[in-house]
Homo-oligomer: A and B are copies of this chain.
């Protein structure tokens, strides 16, 4: 494989990174919306049963090459970031 082919592969990785970025932020917007919905219902935001359900569904659909344990780790980081965003929103709402 020449450098040109390596450059092409890297270009595709950059494109995928931007698609991932877009989906990650789209997910964050939904999570914010869910946070607001639960807030008006007076429900606490972190829901381990819901998290388990999401992880099970993700792992059932994992065809690799990443191991399910790796996928679980990555999604837990994404979930955590989403919860922190909800917590920030909650703090801001209290300050209004």
Identity of the chain B residue whose Cβ is nearest the Cβ of A50 in the assembled complex: B10
Considering only residues 1-34 of chain A, those with a C-beta below 8 Å from chain B are 1, 5-6, 9-10, 12-14, 16-21, 23-34
Query: CB of A71 within 8 A of chain B?
Result: yes
Interface residues of A toward B: which range?
35 or more
Residue in B17, B25, B30, B32 whose CB lies within 8 Å of A63: B25
Copies of this chain per assembly = 2
Cβ–Cβ contact A13 & B1, under 8 A: no
Identity of the chain B residue whose Cβ is nearest the Cβ of A47 in the assembled complex: B10
A50-71 Cβ-contact flags toward B at 8 Å (1 or 0): 1000100110011111100011
Query: CB of A87 within 8 A of chain B?
Result: no
